[in-house]
Amino acid sequence: MRVTRVQPPAKIRDKTWKSAMSLDHDGLPARAQSESAPSPSLAEETAAHVLELLRALLRELHPSERGAITLTLDSHVDRDLALDSLARTELLRRIEAQFQVQLGEQILLAETPRDLVDLILQASGEPEPAVLAADWQAPALEPLATGTPDRAETLLEALDWHVAAHPDRLAIQIYGNDDRIDTTFSYAGLRQGAQAVAAGLQQRGLQPGQMVAIMLPTGSDYFLSFFGILLAGGVPVPIYPPVRPSQLEEHLRRHARLLSNAQTVALITVPEAKLVARLLQAQVEDLRHVVTVTELQQTPATWSKVPVHPRDLAFLQYTSGSTGDPKGVMLSHANLLANLRAMGPRVAANSQDVFVSWLPLYHDMGLIGACLGSLYHAFPLVVMSPLSFLARPARWLWAIHRHRGTLSAAPNFAYELCARVIQDHEIEGLDLRCWRMSFNGAEPVSPATLERFSARFSRYGFHAEAMAPVYGLAECSVGLALPPPGRGPVIDRVQRERFIATGQAEPTTPGDSAALLFPACGQPLPDHQIRVVDEQGRELPDRQEGRVEFKGPSATTGYYRNPEATRRLFPHGDDWLDSGDRGYLAGGDIYLTGRVKDLIIRGGRNLYPYELEQAVGEIPGIRKGCVAVFASPDPATGSERLVVVAETRTTQPESLVSLRQQIQSVGVDLLGTPPDEVVLAPPRTVLKTSSGKIRRGAVRELYQRNAIGQGGRALWLQLTRIALASGWAQARRLGRTVTEWLYAAYGWSVFGVLAPVVWLGIMTLPKLEWRWALARTGPWLLAQLTATPLTVRGQQHLPVGSCVLVANHSSFLDAYVLMAAIPRHFHYVAKRELLDNHWIARPLLRLGTLFVERFDVQRSVDEAGRLIDAAHAGQSLGFFPEGTFTRMPGLLEFRMGAFLAAAQAGVPVVPVTICGTRSILRAGSWFPRRGQLEVIIESPITPDGDDWSAAVRLRDAARAAILRHCGEPDLSS
């Protein structure tokens, strides 16, 4: 195969536009054009082949529009053909295979088939010397003994800490336009370059707290700008660059609302954008400067230090730049550092890691997760542009090979793209054994994609255990839930019909072909919490789908200058934030099932359907208010398809083609990407609620069942069935809500009747045995009368003599469950604070409960001695060694008191696992729910000594036994 490097055609080149502005990357270096023009016959033959390749690709992408595709050499690939970046990548692969040439990233910028023909015809000459990926590797890094900047309170203090500790250590490596490292930053070099930019901003009058927008491609200027703005006391506002040079004007006009909302005083961009960007100054009242990094750079010594505090804004992360209601997530230095410090230990980050990234730096996963995470934890960041990855996905994998990358992240579509388009000859010699965590997030994770990627690259050393579906959102800085390293994907198979009807994620058998598959997205980061609530805000039990809410130190305080959106973000008026997602918890992991709103995520960008629906409705020939925009899963790509369904009375083929092209053009103008499919439907196809709102979910169901456009009568029958099914689903939801309230009221009524009887009996019965019999009977009756099944396993493991029983603690119900499940008398150990409540303390004392001090050290030691004496005297003791419980699932650290008593008394420890109580009555809630209870009694563990080490071994063995059965994560690490 002849491999050549090409120069872009004059039509593209003359735009004086860096291809870097498209998805953040400079194009490949231009070669001199051939002086001899291609013959007319060759040009015609090439054009015919290109058009045929395009027709075949379009037929695959839009099968429903097979007869409506009009294709000429001057068709616009966005507006007329609706080719997005992924489709362009596939087209690049086919063109190179057909014409035996190697094209650069310019093909992703070509706007017409004629541009593609020009690129192919200009591919001439011998190939430039290439870097052989398998023959070069980055040098190994020396481990650091200096740790991380744990005491830093701002990002700047963290950077300064690294500059002081190891100024020359490699921080960032940036790939240029020839598959080689173009720029390298040490910590000191990054600090000095950013200070030069900061000096220029200060010279232009930037005041502390003012906003500066960054619209730059991936490269050294981006990093210098971000930290330069911080050093100058400003707040960076990353915005994504335009996809095509021809879209620059529309792109900047769309961003006018965002820049106005942010009160941006300066915009840092590339020279080619300056002229158009200046036109924005008339629309953005506060925008005073449109500058480049080169224009800003001054002597670093002229910079003046500005005080920066932990609660100051570190940057604004806009969740969408294409809606009429821009939402800038306010993230402080404290938020970001909390997130970085929580993620580091969870992924076992250390200074010998290497993070390889092609993610856009305007996106939180690329900027915070990759860039700031690498800088904080002192491992190098290797960066290439998104366009470079899209043109040749193998470049990402080769960069991991070369630099022995250990960490990397991408949306689901990137893994699918690699598994689908990378050819064997492109990765001969590839070694991915170094890749220990491969994060998959920012868009819905496909279990099929996880399996395909792992299977495809396992022979190149990729370990399936490295794949890690994760959950994060800008409102929590970036990361919210991560799995432990090396666990691999956990896929939950649930019964489809039951889940759809009730929202209960009931596990099903592996052979159930109709099962719904949901990947586990990890457990909440340390000091962060996730809960799932119903529509009334009541927390739901495990395996019940609902709205996902979260809180923690990484969470934003709201949206900048948008009080209404901020109010919706905090629906209960407390510190719980609404994620906008739906999901369920199981085993401590969060499983995402969909989005509350009709947000569409494509390529890491958030797209909202309303504005596109409004704009399409304005097109002559389209019925206004009868347009539905939604996302539909695409099994072929592992991503989501953007679908537009629009009603029209037009039936003429030529008019339908024109309407499709206009809709695609509007999609590009508003969202920067064309719809994947446009469906023109007859009137009364787009379903609405009684109040006139578009029922996008119902229209999506019609689309996925191929029910749109199948004839009026059959369609109405299907629409009627959908309407009836929707009404029935609402009735079921209402019924479930009423049932849950009635059950909760009934449960408390039963407790209210039993509790006084048991309390009086314990206080009056003369014999301890009678009191214990009553204490066990009360909880047993409560379980029976509330239809709460209690299963006890392993009673035969209870020793005849004295022992120490230890159990996990997850709910107020645990003590009642133990009394009902354990058929013998134990002296349970409780916290001394309970003595302050005489109604609780007096019956506990009558049952022989022992109380211990948790906060007074001397008193705690004395009481621990009394527990040891009680164990020596032959009394059996019962402990909750966690000492407390939380609403989040997970087994906490065990305190040593129970195990010291057992070791020094020489009595065995009996681990007991309680399952189900947390889901029935969770901490912080007094709303009981139905559930099943199980108590598992393990074999006794005999101490092998009477010293501290023996007690530690007892603790570890008992904790491991409980951890095996409780179904919750280990929170000790």
DSSP for 819-855 reads HHH--S--EEEEEGGGGG-HHHHHHHHHTT-EEE-SS
State residue 278 phi and psi, 5-degree precision.
-65, -25
Q: Which domains does the chain have, with CATH numbers?
A: 10-130 (1.10.1200.10), 134-142+152-482 (3.40.50.12780), 495-595 (2.30.38.10), 608-709 (3.30.300.30), 751-966 (3.40.1130.10)
Sign of the CA dihedral running 749, 751, 756, 758: positive
* Structure-token pair, residue 309: 């505090």
Q: Contact at 8 Å (CB) between 782 and 750?
A: yes
In whole angstroms, how large is the CA radius of gyration of the chain? 32
Sign of the CA dihedral with 608 first, then 683, 83, and 93 last:
positive
SS3 state of residue 410: strand
pLDDT at 11: 41
Average pLDDT rounded to a whole number, residues 785-811: 91
Tokens of 299: 């002597």
Both tokens of 412, joined, read 């689901």
Q: Cα separations (Å) of 719 from 162, 251, 750, 782, 804? A: 63, 39, 46, 47, 64
Tokens of 904: 């020094």
| Residue range 819-839, pLDDT digits in tens | 889 888 888 888 877 777 888
Rounded to 5°, angle at Cα 762 from 757 and 767: 135
- pLDDT tens digit string along 307-359? 999 999 999 998 753 344 678 999 999 999 999 999 999 999 999 999 999 99
C-beta atoms surrounding 47 within 10 Å = 18
Spell out where 528-614 has E strands.
529-533, 546-551, 577-586, 589-595, 600-602, 605-607
Cβ neighbors of 414 (< 8 A, separation 6 or more) are 389, 393, 396
Question: Which residues touch 742 (CB under 8 Å, ≥6 apart)?
Answer: none
Q: Is the pLDDT score of 132 beyond 60?
A: no
Interval 89-122: pLDDT, tens: 788 888 888 888 877 677 777 778 888 888 888 7
Q: What is the pLDDT of residue 295?
A: 94
69 CB contacts (<8 Å, ≥6 apart)? 55, 58, 59, 62, 81
User: Which of 605, 628, 619, 716 minimizes the C-alpha distance to 677?
Assistant: 628
Percentage of residues of the chain with pLDDT beyond 90 = 40
Instruction: Note the pLDDT of residue 249.
Output: 60
Residues found in the chain? 973
CA angle 607, 613, 617 (to 5 degrees): 155
For residue 775, pLDDT over 60 is answered with yes
Confidence tier at 173 by pLDDT (50, 70, 90):
very high
| pLDDT mean over 393-410 | 95
Q: How many Cα atoms are found within 13 Å in the side-chain-facing hemisphere of 749?
A: 8
The burial class, CB within 10 Å (0-12 / 13-18 / 19+), for 699 is buried
Does the pLDDT value for residue 465 go beyond 60? yes
3-state secondary structure of 548: strand
Please state, in angstroms and rounded to a whole number, the distance separating the CA atoms of residues 570 and 475.
11
Half-sphere exposure of 143 (CA within 13 A, CB side): 3
Instruction: Categorize the per-residue pLDDT at 481 as very low, low, confident or very high, splitting at 50, 70 and 90.
Output: very high
The number of angstroms, rounded, from the C-alpha of 611 to the middle of its chain's C-alpha atoms is: 25
Whole-angstrom CA distances from 663 to 62, 211, 233, 622, 939 are 15, 35, 44, 10, 69
* Stated pTM of the model: 0.77
Check whether 48 has a pLDDT greater than 80. Answer: yes
What's the mean pLDDT in 707-713?
A: 58
Selection from 220, 227, 236 nearest residue 198 by Cα: 227
529-533 and 546-551 as β-strands: parallel, antiparallel, unpaired?
antiparallel
Q: Output the average pLDDT for the chain.
A: 83
Res. 85 pLDDT band, cuts 50 70 90: low
pLDDT at 225: 97
Q: CA 835, CA 319: separation in Å to the nearest integer?
A: 51
Instruction: Pick the more confident residue, 273 or 504.
Output: 504
CA gap 599, 142 in Å, rounded:
44
